[in-house]
Amino acid sequence: MKIFEIVEVSKESLGLVFDTIKPWDERMAVGNKEVWTICRGLPLFLWTVDCFRKVLDKVGTLVDVDEATLNWE
């Protein structure tokens, strides 16, 4: 079954989750994306904004660190 067929058959249930469903168009691409990053195995003494920034500088830019992480929760 092709994706177009799946969307057509599932329109009612997909409508509960999505506002609109459209075919891909290059003009829809955005330049920047935000993602949640998990740093597994990082010792607690390295849980600092500066350290997270250094780790993420390899792949992007640090936007923010949540309070729970900064408080070691």
46-68 pLDDT, tens digit per residue, is 889 999 999 888 888 888 988 88
Q: How far apart are CA 61 and CA 52, in angstroms?
A: 10
Domain boundaries defined on the chain: 3-70
- Fill in the DSSP letter of residue 60: S
pTM score, two decimals? 0.50
pLDDT in tens, 2-40: 888 888 888 888 888 888 888 878 887 777 777 888 878
- What confidence score (pLDDT) does residue 49 get? 92
Q: What is the pLDDT of residue 50?
A: 93
